[in-house]
Amino acid sequence: MSRIKTFNLPDLGEGLTEGEILAWLVKVGDTIELNQPIVEVETAKAAVEIPAKWAGQVHTIHHPEGTTVEVGAPIIAIDTDPGAGPVETPSTTATSGGDLPTPSAASLAAVEVAPAEGMVEPGLIGGPAPGGRTAVLVGYGPRTTAAKRRPRKGAVPAQAVAAPAPAAPPVVTPVVAPAQTGQATPTSGGTTGGVLAKPPVRKLAKDLGVDLGTLTGSGPLGSITREDVQRAASGATTVVAEPIAATTAPSFGADREQHIPVKGVRKLTAENMSRSAFTAPHVTEFLTVDVTRAMKALDRLRGRREWRDVRVSPLLLVAKAVLLAVQRHPMVNSTWAGDEIVVKEYVNLGIAAATERGLIVPNVKDAGRLSLRELADALTDLVQTAKSGRTSPAAMSGGTLTITNVGVFGVDTGTPILPPGESAILAFGAVREMPWVHKGKVKVRQVTTLGLSFDHRIIDGELGSKFLRDIGDFLTDPEAALLAWT
User: Would you tell me how many other CB atoms lie within 10 Å of the CB of residue 357?
Assistant: 17
Q: How far apart are the first and last CA of the chain?
A: 65
> How big is the CA angle at 420 (ends 286 and 18), to the nearest 5 degrees?
140
Residues in the chain: 486
SS3 of residue 151 by DSSP:
coil
* Backbone phi and psi for residue 49, each to the nearest 5 degrees, phi listed first: -95, 130
* Sequence-separated (6 or more) residues with CB below 8 Å from residue 15: 139, 140, 141, 142, 143
Helices (H) and strands (E) in the chain, counts: 11, 19
CA separation for the pair 369, 382 (Å, rounded): 17
For 194, half-sphere exposure in the C-beta direction (CA atoms, 13 angstrom radius) is 5
Report yes or no: 183 and 208 within 8 Å, Cβ to Cβ: no
CA separation for the pair 67, 190 (Å, rounded): 66
- Choose, from 62, 63, 438, 456, the residue flagged as catalytic: 456
Report yes or no: 4 and 79 within 8 Å, Cβ to Cβ: yes
* Backbone phi and psi for residue 115, each to the nearest 5 degrees, phi listed first: -55, -40
Report yes or no: 312 and 302 within 8 Å, Cβ to Cβ: yes
Interstrand relation of 353-355 and 358-360 (parallel, antiparallel or unpaired): antiparallel
Burial 227-245 (b: 16+ CB within 10 A, else e): ebbebbbeeeebeeeeeee
CA separation for the pair 220, 228 (Å, rounded): 13
Interstrand relation of 18-24 and 31-32 (parallel, antiparallel or unpaired): unpaired
Annotated active-site residue 59? The verdict is no
Burial 403-420 (b: 16+ CB within 10 A, else e): bbbbbeeeebbbebbbbe
Report yes or no: 34 and 55 within 8 Å, Cβ to Cβ: yes
Name which of 26, 125, 121 is nearest 72 in CA terms: 125
User: Would you tell me how many other CB atoms lie within 10 Å of the CB of residue 253?
Assistant: 6
Sign for the CA dihedral angle at 117, 121, 125, 130 comes to positive
User: Would you tell me how many other CB atoms lie within 10 Å of the CB of residue 125?
Assistant: 18
> Catalytic site residues?
456
